[in-house]
């Protein structure tokens, strides 16, 4: 007896292999199409403009023009503003010394003991738990005693600061 030959049947592995090859080929074709689109004139124009903008940004950062980073230093304050600022700072530090006196029942030996860290501020303890603070403001020496009135010591300082920069 002879066997009849039948056409070779595809097994499942062969089918899977063919499907995988088809997917890979389709992906490769899509990638080629995308690469061709990337090199179209509009895309090249956009890439050129973006590159030019990037180079301009780098140039601005490297040169640092004045309009980008502002002035190199703040303008000098007028002597009246400097004095007013020192007067306000002295009043703040006077309050720190007074708070120390209330907490400890004695004057501090130094300003740093009271928590004062204003550079250029001097301190002198006086009899009967009084003290004075002194500081240089321009060519003037300002002295604030613990018994001095705040409004008298400030004078026009707050008005001067409020009107700073106005003609």
Give pLDDT tens digits for 110-160: 889 988 888 889 999 999 889 999 999 888 899 999 888 888 888 888 888
Residues 93, 155, 162, CA angle at the centre, nearest 5°? Answer: 85
Asked if the model's pLDDT at residue 68 lies above 60, the reply is yes
User: What pLDDT shows up at residue 9?
Assistant: 55
Asked if the model's pLDDT at residue 54 lies above 90, the reply is yes
pTM for the full predicted model: 0.55
> Among residues of the chain, what percentage have pLDDT more than 90?
26
Asked if the model's pLDDT at residue 5 lies above 60, the reply is no
Q: How many CB atoms lie under 10 A from the CB of residue 85?
A: 16
- pLDDT band, residue 100 (cuts 50/70/90): very high
User: What pLDDT shows up at residue 6?
Assistant: 47
Q: Report how far residue 147's alpha carbon sits from residue 131's, in angstroms, rounded to the nearest whole number.
A: 8
Asked if the model's pLDDT at residue 13 lies above 70, the reply is yes
Distances (CA, A) of 39 to 3, 26, 27, 35: 61, 21, 19, 7
Q: Cβ distance 64 to 95 under 8 Å?
A: no
Name every residue whose Cβ is closer than 8 Å to that of residue 54 and which is 6 or more positions away in sequence. Answer: none
Please tell me whether residue 136 adopts helix, strand or coil conformation.
Answer: strand
Residues 145, 157, 121, CA angle at the centre, nearest 5°? Answer: 45
The mean pLDDT of the chain is 84
Give me the residue label for tokens 């005693």.
145
Name the nearest CA neighbour of 135 among 93, 99, 102.
93
Q: Report how far residue 167's alpha carbon sits from residue 154's, in angstroms, rounded to the nearest whole number.
A: 22
User: What pLDDT shows up at residue 143?
Assistant: 92
């Amino acid at each position: 007896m002879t066997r009849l030959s039948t056409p070779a049947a595809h097994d499942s592995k062969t089918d899977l292999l063919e499907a995988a090859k088809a997917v890979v080929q389709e992906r490769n074709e899509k990638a080629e199409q995308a690469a061709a689109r990337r090199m179209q004139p509009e895309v090249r124009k956009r890439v050129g403009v973006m590159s030019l903008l990037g180079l301009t940004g780098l140039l601005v950062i490297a040169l640092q023009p004045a309009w980008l980073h502002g002035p190199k230093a703040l303008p000098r304050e007028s002597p009246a503003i400097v004095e007013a600022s020192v007067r306000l700072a002295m009043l703040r530090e006077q309050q720190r010394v007074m708070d120390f006196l209330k907490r400890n029942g004695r004057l501090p030996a130094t300003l740093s003991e009271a928590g004062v860290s204003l550079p250029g501020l001097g301190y002198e303890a006086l009899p009967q738990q009084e003290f004075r603070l002194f500081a240089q403001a321009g060519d003037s020496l300002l002295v604030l005693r613990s018994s001095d009135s705040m409004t008298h010591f400030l004078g026009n300082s707050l008005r001067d600061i409020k009107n700073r920069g106005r003609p």
